[in-house]
Amino acid sequence: MLTYIVIAAIKSLVLIHVLLGAVAYTVWLERKVVGHMQNRWGPTRVGPFGLLQPIADGVKFILKEDLTPPHVYKPLFILAPMLSVVLALTSIAIIPLGNQLPLGRWSTALQITSSPAGTGDINIGLLVLLGVTSIAVYGIALAGWSSNNKYSLLGSLRASAQMISYELSLGLSLVGVLLLAGSLSLRQIVDNQSGRYFGFLPHWYVFPQLIAFFIYLVSAYAETNRIPFDLPEAETELVAGYHTEYSAMKFAMFFMAEYANMFTVACVATLLFFGGWSGPVPKFLPPLAQAFVPLFWFAVKVLAFIFVYIWVRGTLPRFRYDQLMAFGWKFLLPLAIANIIITSLIVAWLS
């Protein structure tokens, strides 16, 4: 048990540092990619190719004066950004990143929430993950309410309504995959995607569930408040609604949570639709290297999903708020329900 606790603590520390580093450099990547799409350079001043810009931004946020307006409700005003970051980091702990990692006499799964034996994950991992991510709306709602500012409150209400509305479509889009996999375990869902369709196509659920993936993709943009669904602010405003009164690191925490949530939805898409860490593993590699090759394939698929996120930001205009809500309730939600009905009928017919 002591060994299990030590290994879990080490995995937690490593994953948090890797995730926070990935969040910082995703901001750099986004600025570079969108800059080139718009015929600009993006960050170039700090370090080669601007690679030290995330570090400079982090130092700037730490050293900036942290102002707390006198009219706010201070306990919840301070709790809101912390809640957003903690929940964003907690959801990553549930996600399996690969197979077993040999450590001398012991082995452990590349996942924080593994069993004391070091194998497997919780058998309702997807439900736990959806439950943790759904609580993230409280961070935004509390930030707007505790600011005691009518504009912050309106911004938080817009963002909360958007997140709750599209969370329905996002959750229902995954039901078709669950019907095909017959399990709520994320590791079991990945294992069920081994093999080939017609001898050459990977046995990924994105092929029979292409409509579900489209629903998930669009809902993920709205769930994480990203363009073309970044409506925490209104159409004519320049400030972003619910965090108008925040500054310094409390302001940065909301953006850390947003980018960490991007990685969460990218990981879920990789696990449920693109076979997770499945990919060719060279047999001539030593056992330790073979354990890290699936992690490489997982990272490649997640980064491809992140690139699509950035690509859409540099391509599509923002929706109006009425268009945003109508698209979710009148199109995506009925489409998700229809996909569940058709998938269940096909599964029942084939069984």
Angle CA(146)–CA(237)–CA(226) in degrees, nearest 5?
Answer: 80
Bond into 228 cis (ω within 30) = yes
Q: Tens digits of per-residue pLDDT, 117-140? A: 555 567 787 888 888 888 888 888
What are 99's two structure tokens?
């197979």
Angle CA(23)–CA(82)–CA(76) in degrees, nearest 5?
Answer: 150
pLDDT at 335: 92
CB atoms within 10 A of CB 4: 15
pLDDT at 241: 74
Nearest residue to 186 via CA among 301, 85, 98, 87 = 98
The rounded percent of the chain whose pLDDT value lies above 70 is 92
pLDDT at 201: 81
Q: C-alpha distances in angstroms, 246 versus 163, 194, 260?
A: 21, 47, 19
Measured distance CA(21)–CA(32) in Å, rounded: 17
Look up the pTM and report it. 0.87
Nearest residue to 212 via CA among 260, 170, 271, 167 = 170
CB atoms within 10 A of CB 151: 17
